Amino acid sequence: MNRLPYPILLSGLALLVAVLFVISIAIGQVWINPASVLLPGAHGYGEADRLILYEIRVPRAVLALLIGATLGLSGAVLQGLLRNPLAEPGLLGISASASLGAVIAIYSGLTAIFAYALPISALAGALIAVLLLRGLAGRSADILTIILSGVALTSLAGALTSLALNMSSNPFAALEIVFWMLGSLADRSWVHVGMALPFILMGMLLLFATARALDALSLGHDAAQSLGVNLQRTNTLAILGTAISVGAATAVSGAIGFVGLIVPHLLRPCVGNKPSRLLAVSALGGAAFLLLADISIRVLLPEKDLKLGVVTALIGAPFFLWLLHSVKKRAQV
């Protein structure tokens, strides 16, 4: 198979992200041409367009980009670390646990005292989920044990989230269950970007630091150790990186599933069996995927406020079934 050279692949994906970013800020209730609003002396656009562009659409697109990148990257790292093609923050219950953490922070009143309590509590939820998974599934666990643990964790976190929201004295809280389980970027603001950005960047940095070790791990545990890879350190980096970045992302967007599953799988054939190369392309691919999903909900059902997780699951769940089928077939051969 003729593969694209790595630098060309990277710059192609970056260009795709840039184009989708521009489309994303142009699309909404009405089409706004970003160039003519941003350039001085432009005609035809008023104060309302400028405000909507800067305060509503740009933060939304920035969040789609950041969160998509986080989910794509953490999917690629988890798949490499667990040597499990089905690993992904949504499926493993990490996103759902982060949602639970966020809900607890909001309804216990912690966020009223300290704004960063929201991302911190969400990443604590994510961290507990990752540690539980490591504990439950062990080191050499088979693919299905991890996935089933993830299913159980997702249900539990979902139930506790509903419980927390139903117990709240706020009559609108129960309506939020859908948001926390399916995710949305509608009407988020710069406040949310500011809250999530530092944590997402920090988490992504930790995840990128696992690159060399993941390459060695693809040869197997023992081979990696003989190559001098510190597995303990890699583990810690991946766990913390996933918890921090996915936790912060979920705190502002709710749980969005399947991005971390689809994107690394689609891009793996383009980079070959080199997990380290998969990381950067998965981050860019995840950003492009989530921007595209967020554009599509505004094009397809502009009045309905369709949740982002609905679109990613509509694409992701059939993909997951197909993947499960092919993994089983490969195991039988």
| Sites of contact with other proteins (CB under 8 A) | 28-30, 48, 51-52, 55-56, 106-107, 109, 111-112, 168, 170-173, 175-176, 179-180, 186-187, 189-191, 303, 305
Cβ closer to other proteins: 142 or 187?
A: 187
Nearest distance from C-beta of residue 102 to other proteins, angstroms? 9
3-state secondary structure (DSSP) of residue 167? helix
Cβ closer to other proteins: 142 or 305?
A: 305
Cβ contacts of 151 within 8 Å, gap of 6 or more: 91, 93
Q: DSSP per residue over 233-247, as a string?
A: HHHHHHHHHHHHHHH
The encoded tokens of residue 303 equal: 């009045």
Cβ closer to other proteins: 29 or 155?
A: 29
Nearest distance from C-beta of residue 179 to other proteins, angstroms? 6
Nearest distance from C-beta of residue 52 to other proteins, angstroms? 5
Nearest distance from C-beta of residue 311 to other proteins, angstroms? 17
Cα distance between residue 97 and residue 138, in whole Å: 20
The encoded tokens of residue 269 equal: 């054939």
Cβ closer to other proteins: 55 or 142?
A: 55
Cβ closer to other proteins: 197 or 202?
A: 197
Q: SS3 string of 247-306?
A: HHHHHHHCCCCCHHHHHHHHHHHHHCCCHHHHHHHHHHHHHHHHHHHHHHHHHHCCCCCC
Nearest distance from C-beta of residue 55 to other proteins, angstroms? 4
Cβ closer to other proteins: 222 or 303?
A: 303
Cβ closer to other proteins: 141 or 186?
A: 186
Distance of CA 220 to CAs 80, 81, 213, 224, 275, Å?
Answer: 11, 10, 11, 6, 13
Nearest distance from C-beta of residue 332 to other proteins, angstroms? 46
3-state secondary structure (DSSP) of residue 116? coil
- Residue from 36, 67, 104 nearest 204 by CA: 67
Nearest distance from C-beta of residue 299 to other proteins, angstroms? 14
Nearest distance from C-beta of residue 95 to other proteins, angstroms? 16
Distance of CA 133 to CAs 71, 239, 324, Å?
Answer: 18, 10, 20
Q: DSSP per residue over 77-98, as a string?
A: HHHHHTT-TT--TTTTTHHHHH
